[in-house]
Amino acid sequence: MYEIGTPVVDEKAPTGPLEKRWERRRFSARLVNPANKRKLTVIVVGTGLAGGSAAATLAELGYHVLSFCYQDSPRRAHSIAAQGGINAAKNYRNDGDSVFRLFHDTVKGGDFRSRESNVYRLAEVSVEIIDQCVAQGVPFAREYGGLLDTRSFGGAQVARTFYARGQTGQQLLLGAYQALSRQIHAGNVEMRARTEMLDLVVDDGRARGIVARDLVTGVVTTHLADAVVLATGGYGNAFHLSTNAKGSNATAIWRAHRRGALFANPCFTQIHPTCIPVSGAHQSKLTLMSESLRNDGRVWVPRTPGEVRPPGQIPEDDRDYYLERLYPSFGNLVPRDIASRAAKNICDAGYGVGPGGLGVYLDFAAAVERLGRPVVAERYGNLFEMYERITGEDPYTVPMRIYPAVHYTMGGLWVDYDLQSSIPGLFVIGEANFSDHGANRLGASALMQGLADGYFVLPNTIGDYLADGPFPPVSPSSVAEVTGDVASRLDRLLAVRGDRSPDDFHRELGQLLWDHCGMERSEPGLRKALARIPALREEFWRRVRVLGNGDGLNQSLEKAGRVADFLELAELMCLDALHRTESCGGHFRTESQTPDGEALRDDDRFAYVAAWEYASPPVLHREELRFADVTPSTRSYK
Amino acid sequence: MRFTLRIWRQDDATADGGLRSYVVDDVSPDMSFLEMLDVLNERLSAEGAEPVAFDHDCREGICGMCGMMINGVAHGPAKATTTCQLYLRDFTDGDTITVEPWRARPFPVVRDLVVDRSAFDRIIEAGGYVSTPTGSAPDAHAVPVPKADADTAFEAAACIGCGACVAACPNGSAMLFTAAKTTHLGMLPQGQPERYDRARAMVATQDDLGFGGCTNAGECTAVCPKGIPLETIGRLNRDVLSHR
């Protein structure tokens, strides 16, 4: 099914004391002469927190930047939907936080499947992010004294999460978008919105450009540069139903993978515990309710399976606050993977509530009684309104119903300490790379990583690569090969004229992944999915129906191209999940659990990053993980 | 539920458009308005007809990508709601619903319900930022901000740039959009150095782009999904008229 290749080594990783490594790398990374910077062009694909901040910062440094997004404006990237907050080791609360503690929590939260060096750098840089964002005018929540408010978030025992009501992602993204807009105005960034990257140009072993389609005119164009940065987000939409935006897709990273970039830990996906349950077959996406709600909400199910009484009429004695019962020290604040699986288990056992029994209650009655309705409204008002709009129920009086949903992908393209992929000149930042979250991401850490990569890490490390530039002109044959591939693929999609819509294929693929590569994975299930996916893919290319032509705006053509790539990526996700026979973080293998049903990690066999090479069959390259500053332990939230 | 939809169809910016009727009768009250369009599009596509093009992305009411005139009202009948957060339970079974794109000179139709709102980006590029390059920031606690000012700034910063304000305005004015940004940044100490230049540059740009002037009709704030208050426009006018 796959072959074992040579081990992969992160050659850029600095050594020495943990707290000196980033400083040392910044010093050892070569600088580019300011006069040469304007002769160097960098392509940045995606304008979320990572891409927007990187494009703005690279332009400030003097590079010529080409920025791309598929949305109609760079301000709409899906980072905008992040609700809860952003972690930073400011220790403004004097509650015992520190860079080391944030590092420690992140390595442990990732279940010891991330690199110590990278995570320490992330924690170190986190404090600068808050400073930068405040200076940009990001309206973080403040106390009456005028200082920034923080809260504890998703399992953290210190209050290190900065937030802007339930719209933290939006406000941080607008900060990056505004910095980017300033550089567009200054002529340092050429912005191309409604333009989707469809392939990567590799010439003489280096990433040198992209082939993209203008989604309005349908024209396919080639853009060349000295380096390419992918900031195109995660691949959660492989599951069809997820909390991702409808347009979020994996095409950019998958095409880069096919051109030689290693894909790391594709099976590490995060299922978020607090989402609004599916209401019917028509469902087009799932909506997250920030997990900050678990700070004050209590999760429970009725003690009797098939309970018919409305929640308000179920007395305390007939309720099972199962997270508080199973995990007395963390209670409702256990990490995401644990909360999600507990919800799945309790619903599978027949205690679930709502349509199909796929939901649990998240109850604010105690919080309203303790804090008063105005305080609850101040903290969660917009989330409650959103919930009521979608479900027609008022969470102040009726407990919310929640169920887990696919939310984030820790896996992504393999990168070294410099955030460079295995293709020289191709850098990958934000959710699109695999680097910092191991097998499970902590709450409020995605925004931190996106901005750390874009504002502070990449702009420092990319210089070391660009110091060798400008690179020689790209050979016309390299360009012709890629543009030819793109054109023939579009033609093929349009030529099938079959009888099943791209959405219909996507729905079937998503259900397959959810059932077999979701919250619990088992060998028989994964083998079943691995048998079905190639057949589904073959059927796709025989029966997909794309109407219209490629000469203008054609949303079903866009969709079909994305689904075609999900159909390939899904197979690698299942293969990775099958090969990793341990349980760790968001990856729970039923064959590897403790007697009381907790995840059983296998450090002797699996303390490595699985970096996959595109080939037939795929080739597995292992990067060993070594832990010197945090001792691998079994996570216990009991 | 069953609805008769009258939807604007237009091939591209230069083509003539018109309303076409479609009956949908297999939808339920718990479906969103856009999910109804998904159902219609699946059916059209099965019949070999071109699906209706419309913009949408996050479907959580925050990205600002969706937006259409529904029975003549930007984002439809529910208050403070984007199109994607509109549910069919807000309509009466049997209704006829007219769906059109935003209509404003600076927002040309791209296809069907999709319009080009890049003019909004030009307004922000003209000055909707604080000029603070990465790495130049003092400690976040160096400058305390009174909570009331921070809250006012936040309220204005909630703008999602959907364009409903322009579509609803009888003058096609972008003043609420521009004022939301100048209020957000103008209420904060970090935004002070560029406050007046910012306001003047952004207003000059919106005028150049062909947006109309503001006559205080207030239609903008009435349809704004984020409830940006009309008083932001008063603040913007004051900033534009202030001389330093």
Task: Specify the CATH number for the domain of residue A580.
Answer: 1.20.58.100
- % pLDDT > 90, chain A: 90
* Chain B hits for A60, Cβ within 8 Å: 133-134
Q: Which position among A25, A213, A336, A562 bears the catalytic label?
A: A336
Q: Are strands A220-224 and A206-214 parallel, antiparallel or unpaired?
A: antiparallel
Whole-number pLDDT of residue A153: 83
* Chain B hits for A56, Cβ within 8 Å: 134
Interface test with B, best of A389, A507, A563 (most B CBs within 10 A): A389
Cα distance from N-terminal residue to C-terminal residue, chain B: 60
Looking at the predicted complex, does its ipTM rise above 0.90? yes
Name A466's Cβ contacts closer than 8 Å, sequence gap at least 6.
Answer: A32, A37, A40, A42, A63, A226, A227
For residue A376, what are its two tokens?
Answer: 């609850």
Of B11, B129, B184, which is closest to A182 when you measure between CB atoms?
Answer: B129
- Cβ atoms within 10 Å, residue A23: 14
Whether residue A522 is contained in a domain is answered as yes
How large is the average pLDDT for residues A216-228?
97
How far does A138 lie from chain B, in Å, by closest CA?
Answer: 8
How large is the average pLDDT for residues B124-136?
97
CA-based nearest residue to A541, from A573, A493, A593: A493
Give the integer Cα–Cα distance in Å for A288 and A270.
13
Domain boundary among A386, A406, A426: A406
CATH number at residue A287: 3.90.700.10
Give the integer Cα–Cα distance in Å for A424 and B65.
35
Q: Are residues A400 and A480 in the same domain?
A: no
Supply the range of the domain harboring residue A566. Answer: 476-608
- Cβ atoms within 10 Å, residue A243: 26
Name A541's Cβ contacts closer than 8 Å, sequence gap at least 6.
Answer: A492, A496, A564
| Residue numbers of B between 107 and 166 with CB closer than 8 Å to A | 110-111, 114, 116-118, 120-121, 124-126, 128-141, 143-147, 150, 153-154, 157-158, 160-161
* Chain B hits for A145, Cβ within 8 Å: 144
For residue A158, what are its two tokens?
Answer: 């210190």
Cβ A271 vs Cβ A406: under 8 Å: yes
How large is the average pLDDT for residues A22-29?
97
Give the integer Cα–Cα distance in Å for A279 and A166.
24
Name the residue in chain A with its Cα closest to that of B191.
Answer: A137
- The continuous run of DSSP H or E covering A424 comes out as none
Active site residue A336: yes
Does B228 contact chain A (CB < 8 Å)? no
Whole-number pLDDT of residue A61: 98
Domain boundary among A362, A382, A406: A406
Does B46 contact chain A (CB < 8 Å)? yes
Q: Say if residue A155's pLDDT is above 80.
A: no
Phi and psi angles of residue A170, each rounded to the nearest 5 degrees, phi first: -60, -50
Number of structural domains chain A divides into: 2
Tens digits of per-residue pLDDT, A568-582? 999 999 999 999 999
- Cβ atoms within 10 Å, residue A313: 9
- What is the SS3 assignment for B14? coil
Whether omega for the bond prior to residue A7 falls within 30 degrees of 0, making it cis, is no
Query: What confidence category does residue B243 fall into, taking pLDDT thresholds of 50, 70 and 90?
Result: low
Q: Are residues A310 and A398 in the same domain?
A: yes
CA-to-CA separations, A626 to A12, A107, A486, A631, in angstroms, rounded: 15, 12, 41, 10
How large is the average pLDDT for residues A276-294?
88
Could you tell me how far CA A27 lies from the centroid of its own chain? 30
- CATH fold of B117-134+141-241, please? Fumarate Reductase Iron-sulfur Protein; Chain B, domain 2 (1.10.1060)
Cβ B164 vs Cβ B67: under 8 Å: yes
Name the residue in chain B with its Cα closest to that of A451.
Answer: B134
Residue A423 Ramachandran class (φ > 0 left, ψ -120 to 50 alpha, else beta): beta
Of A76, A178, A247, which is closest to B124 when you measure between CB atoms?
Answer: A178
SS3 content of chain B, % helix, strand, coil (to 5): 35, 15, 50
Tens digits of per-residue pLDDT, A247-261? 999 999 999 999 999
Phi and psi angles of residue A546, each rounded to the nearest 5 degrees, phi first: -120, 120
Could you tell me how far CA A50 lies from the centroid of its own chain? 11
Task: Let me know if domain B3-110 sits in CATH 3.40.640.10.
Answer: no
Name A550's Cβ contacts closer than 8 Å, sequence gap at least 6.
Answer: A218, A490, A491, A494, A557
- Cβ atoms within 10 Å, residue B73: 16
How far does A555 lie from chain B, in Å, by closest CA?
Answer: 7
Domain boundary among A371, A389, A406: A406
* Chain B hits for A147, Cβ within 8 Å: 141, 144
Whether residue A577 is contained in a domain is answered as yes
For residue A201, what are its two tokens?
Answer: 């140009």
Q: Exposed, middle or buried by CB within 10 Å (0-12, 13-18, 19+), for A264?
A: buried
Q: Are residues A481 and A402 in the same domain?
A: no
Check: pTM over 0.90? Answer yes or no: yes
Cα distance from N-terminal residue to C-terminal residue, chain A: 39
Whole-number pLDDT of residue B244: 58
Of A72, A146, A556, which is closest to B147 when you measure between CB atoms?
Answer: A146
Starting at the earlier edge strand, list the strands of the sheet with A608-613. Answer: A3-4, A619-624, A608-613, A263-264, A412-413
Domain ranges of chain B: 3-110, 117-134+141-241
- Cβ atoms within 10 Å, residue A348: 13
Query: What confidence category does residue A292 fall into, taking pLDDT thresholds of 50, 70 and 90?
Result: confident
Average pLDDT, chain B: 96
How large is the average pLDDT for residues B113-125?
98
How far does A554 lie from chain B, in Å, by closest CA?
Answer: 8
Q: Are residues A482 and A580 in the same domain?
A: yes
Q: Are residues A281 and A388 in the same domain?
A: yes
DSSP code, position A150:
E
For residue B181, what are its two tokens?
Answer: 């940004």
CA-based nearest residue to A441, from A114, A99, A82, A101: A114
A135/B117 CB distance under 8 A: no
Q: Say if residue A148's pLDDT is above 90.
A: yes
DSSP code, position A475:
P
Q: Are strands A319-320 and B73-74 parallel, antiparallel or unpaired?
A: unpaired
Q: Beta strands of A106-236 (E only): which ranges?
A: 150-151, 161-162, 189-192, 195-203, 206-214, 220-224, 227-230
